[in-house]
Chain A
């Protein structure tokens, strides 16, 4: 690492992995409940497990994004972080808020709106927390020696993510209006500004790992994020089909959702093309593997599988079924979990000075977790399609259909076990890297600095 303050990133990454582990535990609780093993129902009913599972996902990804930003921004701005103390304070407070929220869920205290379950008072703390983060990163950029497109796009992504959190805090009486603005947060995050963050991080990694000229990589970054917004903003319409909004959203949402995979396809082609173009081989191959894997899996999960059910005619029958869960799992994994893990794989050796990038464990972690996640997606797909056919097309009762598809959740649990082994390997490797070291200097790694301009 070039700047001592980049070390902050390590603790964000470590916290992210801890929260990911907990997320997996709650995933298993739900998986077992679905095959009838719901012994924890009295203490952790399904809605608690579900809210905990999805909220942990959001918090660990945000933690990972923040860690990535704390690693990338000093280097891009060519100066130390504005305030290391603020960064640590911000990490600790984020974790405290997260833990309080999860405890609340177990006590039946929440706001009870999908993905925005955290109780309202905690919302304000999240806002303060994110403002502190943005201030820290913003001041670093402001005082920095240079402004790069990569850091600009990353910062814009983080800033808009913070702004878009606000519409979720408006209280309304009408359920349709409630839902309408809830999607401003949820959709415009994951299919809008988070892609900006993802694009920024991916761009940084490609510059570092492939050695392709920054001007070329960044030009394409603009085009890709341009495509993302071009399709993603009006693509919000696919959430407005059947919630009581005007009919024209069926057309607007249908057309622009159909364009959404283009941005992801662009991202995948862009990453693969840059990797091919890059002449110099960076020794950290596994970080490049994660980066390219992210680009490809985000296309499959977010782009292709999303497209598979956003057409209004199809969505009429798949809306509110496990088909959504199928798409959700691979989309979040491919687009966001993998970019954070890619960043960790790249940054860890630089932070700790240990070059554990070419080990069998590193490849094992990549392949096992990915095969596990694809397996889970497959199981959910079969369960979802069967549910659509039996419940939505034939009109059988909900619970009768759920009994019919129970077996697919056994398959999902097996795939989830494989996934867990992969993540376990990743975490083991993370621990083996040891703590960040003041002596770890980027120059020690052949190619690492020479390649990244």
Chain B
């Protein structure tokens, strides 16, 4: 059995050896990180955004690179997911964008500050994170296949393309917060849709859909686009739902 002095050698020797390996790997990491993080794109604006990120302890609720608290969404890919116009609108009044839901402080950022934050988050989104965050592997099983021709995506009004898609999808492209809108024309009339966008809370108190200020022409533009989807029949046939592993009929 080991003597005490041998045990001490094991402790000191092991610690020394592994510290040396760790330091060597750290030196190599510092050599590689500029390339992995595209440091050439790390502008002053990005650094200003990082300061805002830290000065307000955004990590105290959100995660970035998966690090932070778990009270608010992961933001590494948020610019790709929501888009800059949506983020700006959201930062103006976070509570308004998620009525009745989890709250975020209204910081009152200036336009310049909002641009800085978005620059920082855009840079973060471009860092090579070794595949993180992974694409949800089961998403495709759950999502109905696109029923809208891809050509219709190009025809999206500006406001739909920048704001609405943060939550809704058309042709399988867009957010998963609200329902997909490919076939909304089957469920709602033109007037209903226009009224709904104008004041969702008024029509259905407690709904997660925010009231977004816009001139009536914008609303009409959105609704006409959605109604127009009825005229462009889907190129892809609606896919049958995935068959359950156990068919209830087997028990009959």
Residues of A within 8 A of B (CB): 30, 33-34, 38, 41, 45-48, 50-51, 105, 108, 110-114, 117, 149, 173-180, 215, 218-220, 222-223, 225-226, 229-230, 233-234, 236, 240-250, 252, 316-317, 319-322, 324-325, 387, 391-400, 402
Given A218-B4, A233-B15, A316-B134, CB of A394 within 8 Å of CB of B139: yes
Which of A46, A234, A321 has the most B CB atoms < 10 Å from its CB? A46
Contact A175/B64 with A41-B103, A244-B129, A246-B28 known, Cβ cut-off 8 Å: yes
B10 at the interface (CB under 8 A from A): yes
Which chain A residues lie closer than 8 Å to B173 at the CB level? none
Interchain CA distance A64-B178 in the complex, whole Å:
50
Question: Could you pull out 5 A-B pairs where Cβ atoms are within 8 angstroms?
Answer: A174-B37, A242-B65, A246-B29, A395-B138, A399-B101
Contact in complex: B131, A222 (CB < 8 Å): no
User: Quick one: closest B residue to A226, CB to CB?
Assistant: B11
Known: A51-B57, A395-B142. A226 touches B15 (CB 8 A): yes
B113–chain A nearest beta-carbon distance, Å: 14
Interface string of B151-165 (1 = CB under 8 A from A): 000000000000000
**Cβ-based interface call for B56 (8 A):** yes
Interface residues of B (CB under 8 A from A): 2-4, 7-8, 10-11, 14-15, 18-19, 21-22, 25-26, 28-30, 32-34, 36-37, 39, 42, 46-47, 50, 53-61, 63-74, 98, 101-103, 105, 120, 123-124, 127-139, 142-143, 175-177, 208
Does A114 lie within 8 Å of B7, measured CB to CB?
A: no
- Chain A residues near B54: list those with CB within 8 A: 110-113
B103 interface neighbour in A38, A241, A245, A391, Cβ under 8 Å: A38
CB closest residue in chain B, given A392: B136
A396→B61 contact, CB < 8 A: no
A178 neighbours in B (Cβ, 8 Å): 50
Closest chain-A Cβ to B27's Cβ sits at a distance in Å of: 11
Q: Across the two chains, which residue of chain A brings its CB closest to B107? A: A108
Quick one: which of A233, A241, A247 contacts B22, CB cutoff 8 A? Answer: A233
When C-beta atoms are compared, the residue in chain B nearest to A396 turns out to be B176
Q: Across the interface, do A229 and B70 meet the contact criterion of CB distance under 8 Å?
A: no
Residues of B contacting A245 in the complex (Cβ-Cβ under 8 angstroms)? 29, 32-33, 36
Contact of B132 among A38, A222, A223, A241 (CB under 8 A): A241
Which residues of A lie under 8 Å from residue B101 when comparing CB positions? 399
**The 7 A-B residue pairs with the shortest CB-CB distance in the complex, in nearest-first order:** A47-B60, A395-B136, A320-B66, A242-B132, A395-B139, A112-B54, A226-B11
Per DSSP, chain A at the interface is helix
CA distance A317 to B66 in the complex (A): 10
Contact status B22-A236, CB under 8 Å: yes
B7 and A220: CB pair below 8 A? yes
Please indicate the chain B residues that have their CB under 8 angstroms from the CB of A218 in the complex.
4
Q: How far is the CA of A388 from the CA of B136 in the complex (A)?
A: 10
A174 with B176: CB separation less than 8 A: no
List the B side residues contacting A320 at CB < 8 Å: 63, 66-68, 70, 74, 133
B142 touches A394 (CB 8 A): yes
Q: Please state if B60 and A395 are interface contacts (CB–CB under 8 Å).
A: no
- Nearest-Cβ distance from residue B226 to partner chain A, whole angstroms: 21
Is A229 a contact of B18 with CB atoms below 8 Å?
yes
Q: Is the CB of A176 within 8 A of B133?
A: no
Q: Given A108-B56, A246-B36, do A393 and B130 touch, yes or no (CB 8 Å)?
A: no
> Quick check: B176 and A222 within 8 Å, CB to CB?
no
Cα distance, A245 to B129, chains bound together (Å): 7
Contacts of B134 in A (CB 8 A): 316-317, 392
Determine the residue in chain B with the shortest Cβ distance to A400. Answer: B177
Given A47-B58, A108-B56, A234-B18, are A179 and B11 also a contact pair (CB < 8 Å)?
no
| Contact B11 A223, beta carbon cutoff 8 Å | yes
A4 nearest CB across to chain B (Å): 32
> Given A223-B10, A229-B11, A320-B68, are A244 and B56 neighbors across the interface (CB < 8 Å)?
no
Cβ–Cβ contact B132 & A316, under 8 A: yes
What CA separation (Å) do A220 and B10 show in the bound complex?
11
Which residue of chain B has its CB nearest to the CB of A218? Answer: B4
Give the CA-CA distance A291 to B132 in the complex, in Å. Answer: 40
Q: How far is the CA of A368 from the CA of B98 in the complex (A)?
A: 39
CB nearest to B62 among chain A residues: A47
Query: Hey, which chain A residues are within 8 Å of B124, CB to CB?
Result: 175
Minimal beta-carbon separation of A194 from chain B (angstroms): 15
